[in-house]
Structure 1
């Protein structure tokens, strides 16, 4: 490994975060959400650290098959269900639970000839208006599904758009209750935010995602700072060059940053081609040689420049944490005008990844 940029995954932190979820929702089973290649961490790398979960939830059929091939025998929930009717034989073969959110999926299940019926998650549109059936249709869809020989157990499912807000689930919960009237079915409603902050939404299964990986569902680290959640991914590198700017001299593309006095600048081997956000502005936090400092100037494809004023002894080879245990990914994401989810998922393939 010649270039020093590296992503390190703390698998003990991943297991710890699952236990935090269990403490938050002690009466519920847990779907560990591992979509988007486990939020950029690599499903094949991390799934065994979550093997005490009750089930895995994801989108891609290929990833579900990978889990089965690796030996996972527990439930697997396909959050968007099957995308084409000809995938149903594989759902049958690998015993996958499918969500159902559209009329065409109902028709496909009705026509399917399976070795054994599939468990189904019936998706309620509770106001997010992405996937699911409107509350007034849910009862009739349930009646259809329960009549099919291809369908076994049915669970009601929905999703919250604003569960990070104290009052963010009241209206969706009212719609869900309307939809569920007259049906004594299990429910799976709670995402990470609802799992942490809305126990009234826990029911039978919770579906934590981002919180398992050690970031805040609200995008604000202070909201989970006392929860016991620990960051899983650390993105690190080193100083590869040092420049001393004179007053008025600029650094980086566009000359957006100019020194206000003589200033030492460190050049870090990491850039937007590694997954660091290109729009992170001057002032974005970074840790150099154990000292908190900030980025200065524009993010380049392969390099970042940082202020060495707070760490005058740092030089070439000094360690740099871009995000991780000290510099929380939510801080970096907020500075760049995005969310931690995006940064984790955007880790570039060229960055080596190690587990610990």
Structure 2
């Protein structure tokens, strides 16, 4: 039972609608639903259960995330984006139909050293310019032949854009040309397009695409709103006013006296803070939404509480609901005021914030 009025409302039908928008952008390709990091803070099990009838496969970062989904009854194939290491993980992957995205010679040597070699639907990560993980194109070519002989199927060749959110980026074009040339030479399927590339580089959206942030109704493109991209907001974080007080000119609010009233002001306190995932390093331009209006966050965000200036909204009273981000305050806007990105705020929503799931 939850008594605290701070909650994240998760609209599952919006997530499905956003997935369907990804399908519309690349109708001839297949779309993985990326649900790593607890479905970007939205709850991987609930999101996967809702999406499962509609998707060919899921993707997570590492094997523990995949095992949690299997334990919850999720049956569709799951791509492991960071690959696998060690005999136990490789055998578990074969047992549970995980598709490892293998990215190093060490991982591949560990796989081929097993006897018998487990029957795996392997993907290969090719480094085309991100320089984070992946085989060189030359290494990938040699491993494709070995894996095809071992598994009796060709691996999918995957790579990751470093600048997909920038339309017409020459770096992205170079990455795409490298992967596509290699895949054509080896007659392999590809996986390249993420959320941003689905929008900015439709020519990259072939084979297996990997929509992630767009599933949750957040725009992957700077300067483009979610609505402009046909996306619906999936998470709305709300709280309720717990107290209101009048502050005289010259008086300060919160830790370190960071905010001082210039005029007589009304300050409302909300039971949400950085321990819930609302950023402490927010700047003085950040706003919340109540009574159809915006109000500024003032003072330092505390662990469990924050304060807002409601002087201009005289009808405010204790118990009123306040949106921290969602339909009216985009999460990317809040993130920008904390010098970060929406991905970070969504994935930092903590377990003590109650999640309410909305279906249909």
TM-score by length of 1: 0.94
Q: Is the 8 A contact 1:112 1:150 kept in 2?
A: no
Which residues in structure 2 correspond to 1:65-84 (within 5 Å)? Answer: 65-84=67-86
Take 1:296 and 1:114, find their aligned partners in 2: how far apart are those partners?
Answer: 63
Which residues in structure 2 correspond to 1:296-311 (within 5 Å)? Answer: 296-311=298-313
Take 1:245 and 1:83, find their aligned partners in 2: how far apart are those partners?
Answer: 59
Which residues in structure 2 correspond to 1:184-333 (within 5 Å)? Answer: 184-218=187-221, 220=223, 222-333=224-335
The answer as to 2:347 corresponding to 1:345 is yes
Take 2:199 and 2:271, find their aligned partners in 1: how far apart are those partners?
Answer: 37
Q: Which residue of 1 aligns with 2:156?
A: 155
1:257 and 1:266, CA in 2 relative to 1: closer, same or farther beyond 3 A? same
Take 1:284 and 1:151, find their aligned partners in 2: how far apart are those partners?
Answer: 56
Q: Which residue of 2 aligns with 1:18?
A: 19
1:350 and 1:224, CA in 2 relative to 1: closer, same or farther beyond 3 A? closer
3-state DSSP of counterpart to 1:97 = strand
Q: Is the 8 A contact 2:22 2:211 kept in 1?
A: yes
1:294 and 1:114, CA in 2 relative to 1: closer, same or farther beyond 3 A? farther
Take 2:26 and 2:201, find their aligned partners in 1: how far apart are those partners?
Answer: 10
Q: Which sections of structure 1, spanning at least 5 residues, go unmatched?
A: none
Q: Which residue of 2 aligns with 1:110?
A: 112
Cα RMSD of the aligned pairs, angstroms, is 1.7
Q: Is the 8 A contact 1:281 1:297 kept in 2?
A: no
Q: May I ask how many residue pairs the two structures share in their alignment?
A: 354
Q: Once the 2 structures are TM-superposed, how far is the Cα of residue 219 of structure 1 from its aligned partner?
A: 5.2
Q: Once the 2 structures are TM-superposed, how far is the Cα of residue 195 of structure 1 from its aligned partner?
A: 1.3
TM-score by length of 2: 0.93
3-state DSSP of counterpart to 1:242 = strand
Which residues in structure 2 correspond to 1:125-136 (within 5 Å)? Answer: 125-136=127-138
**Which of 8-17 and 76-85 deviates more?**
76-85
